[in-house]
Amino acid sequence: MQTTTSDRLTVRAEEDVVKVRQATRSLAQKTGLNLVDQTKVVTAASELARNTLVYGGGGEVLIEAISDGMRSGVRLTFEDKGPGIADIELAMKDGFTSGTGLGLGLSGAKRLANEFRIESRLGEGTTVVITKWKG
Amino acid sequence: MADPTGVTVSTISRLPKLLKIHEAQILKVWMDEQLASLSRRAGLIGDAELRAQSKNFLSEFHKATQSGSLEDISGPQWASAKALLADICRSRAEQGFTPMETASFVLSVRGPLMDRLQQEYGNDAAGLAAEMRSSNLLLDKLALYTAEVALQNRETIIKRQQEEMLELSTPVVRLFPGVLALPLIGTLDSARTQIVMENLLQKIVETEATIAILDITGVATVDTLVAQHLLKTVAAARLMGADCIISGIRPQIAQTIVHLGVELQNVATKATLADALFLALQRNGFSVQRLAKESAGAK
């Protein structure tokens, strides 16, 4: 796996979620994702960046253009040092929320991406990595 | 120059003394240099104003250095010099200078000052080096302070513009008796959506509308938060007796909504605003017909 470009953004306020969306969209366009895939990855980025902000208390997003020799894509890594998720299985369930949202952000982001990985430790924080491949 | 204590490097700065004796000369050289370098942007600031600013700065700079604190500009001795710089920043921002150009105002005094120091110290290289070092550090700090104020001014302007954009009220337009449309644009974040929703509900009361069309053609990303805001607006409108139609759902948005798992089953949705208007008219008992040529063009 090879990273061609990478960009790190901090998420501290609602405006930063907009920045994450814009950076993701511009990289997805550069990578050559089609319009539907662009929209999907941008929407997933929006969900996860907001989770980082609202549930993680802010954090960082790493936006990378990657290639594995055969294909190219966009990989997003969301990291926070928040309270962590006690029950990941429950958190991934449609309609479950510990806040006031629709409870579809995390599971929706998984469905919108090609690859999805979540790691969380109570009291230490949460990391979510998604990848959207071209084509 | 021998020092009675045997210390060759004097720790007492001669800067205040120089500034006092040679103020007029330093100002003249500084002005000449500034005018030469500003020549390309001469239109931005008048000579008289630049002279007044330079003269005031030199005099405040002199007063502050007299206090003896050349390392730290956060003390009260520097308050009035900093206030002057902040003032200059404000007026320069309005005149169209960049933060860098504004900061270089402070840095440009370095040349004339260093020339003076060199003449003053003559062959005392160690003394000159120490004095130059401390003066340079001081000017750097003042320049950084100026750049920071200039940037803060810009940020204030940007903040104000953001707030103005919030106020750029998304207008609720009347398409037909009983039919309202709300063209949504840009980012639907909490603050804006609240205003949008209040506007719509108010207009529903005022116009006794029975159908409101929420058009999301101009919304770049429809995530679960946007969907939630839309659903809340639909529910609130329904409580007031108006049905909502969501229009402007582009193909990529439709696919994304499906993957997200957002249920829009209880809301009428259409691809375009035109389709939504047709549906609204239908629901209100109207139909649209093309007039026959003869009757339309009757003489």
Cβ–Cβ below 8 Å for B261 and A111: yes
- Both structure tokens of B90: 């404000």
pLDDT band at B143 (very low <50, low <70, confident <90, very high): very high
Cβ–Cβ below 8 Å for A105 and B224: yes
Helices B47-66 and B79-95: crossing angle in degrees, nearest 10, is 160
Q: Which amino acid is at A24?
A: T
Name which of B157-161, B211-215, B275-279 the model is least confident about: B157-161
B229-276 tens-digit pLDDT? 899 999 999 999 999 999 999 999 999 999 999 988 889 999 999 999
Helices B251-260 and B224-239: crossing angle in degrees, nearest 10, is 90
Cβ–Cβ below 8 Å for A39 and B255: yes
**Range B287-298 average pLDDT:** 73
**Residue B260 touches partner A, C-beta closer than 8 Å:** yes
Chain A to chain B Cβ contacts (< 8 Å): 64
Nearest CA in chain A to B255: A36
Cβ–Cβ below 8 Å for A111 and B228: no
> Which helix (H) or strand (E) covers residue B89, if one does?
helix B79-95
The CATH code of the domain at B173-283 is 3.30.750.24
Cβ–Cβ below 8 Å for A39 and B252: yes
Q: Is the pLDDT of residue B40 over 90?
A: no
**Range B66-95 average pLDDT:** 86
**Residue B220 touches partner A, C-beta closer than 8 Å:** yes
The whole-angstrom distance between B249's CA and the closest CA on chain A is 13
**Residue B216 touches partner A, C-beta closer than 8 Å:** no
Find the chain A residues whose C-beta atoms sit closer than 8 A to any C-beta of B: 14, 17-18, 21, 25, 35-36, 38-40, 42-43, 46-47, 50, 94, 101-102, 104-105, 107-108, 111-112
Q: Is the pLDDT of residue B12 over 80?
A: no
Q: Is the pLDDT of residue B298 over 80?
A: no
Kindly state the percentage of chain A with pLDDT values over 90.
Answer: 87
**Range B47-63 average pLDDT:** 90
Q: Which residues of A touch B228 (CB under 8 A)?
A: 101-102
User: Would you tell me how many other CB atoms lie within 10 Å of the CB of residue B146?
Assistant: 24
The CATH code of the domain at A2-133 is 3.30.565.10
Q: Which of B223, B228, B251 sits opposite A43 (nearest CB)?
A: B223
Are B13 and B61 within 8 A, CB to CB? no
- Determine the 3-state secondary structure of B70 from DSSP: coil
Count of alpha carbons within 13 Å of A22, Cβ hemisphere only?
8
Confirm whether the ipTM is greater than 0.90. Answer: no
**Range A42-58 average pLDDT:** 95
Q: Which residues of A touch B187 (CB under 8 A)?
A: 18
Nearest CA in chain B to A111: B259
Going by C-beta distance under 8 Å and a sequence separation of 6 or more, which residues neighbour residue A43?
Answer: A108, A109, A112, B221, B222, B223, B256, B260
A90-129 tens-digit pLDDT? 999 999 998 888 899 999 999 999 999 999 999 999 999 9
A73-83 tens-digit pLDDT? 999 999 999 99
CA B217, CA B221: separation in Å to the nearest integer?
A: 10
Domain regions of chain B by residue span: 15-162, 173-283
B120-to-B22, B60, B115 alpha-carbon distances in Å: 11, 22, 9
CA B7, CA B26: separation in Å to the nearest integer?
A: 29
Indicate which of B219, B256, B265 best probes the interface with A, i.e. most A CBs within 10 Å of its own CB.
B256
Q: Which residues of A touch B165 (CB under 8 A)?
A: none
Cβ–Cβ below 8 Å for B261 and A104: yes
In this predicted structure, what is the pLDDT of residue B3? 43
- For chain B, strand residue ranges (E) read 173-176, 179-186, 211-219, 243-247, 268-269
Name the CATH code of domain B15-162 (choices 2.60.120, 1.10.490, 3.30.450, 1.10.3470). 1.10.490
Nearest CA in chain A to B221: A43
Are B209 and B242 within 8 A, CB to CB? yes
pTM for this prediction: 0.66
Domain regions of chain A by residue span: 2-133
User: In this structure, what DSSP letter does residue B45 have?
Assistant: S
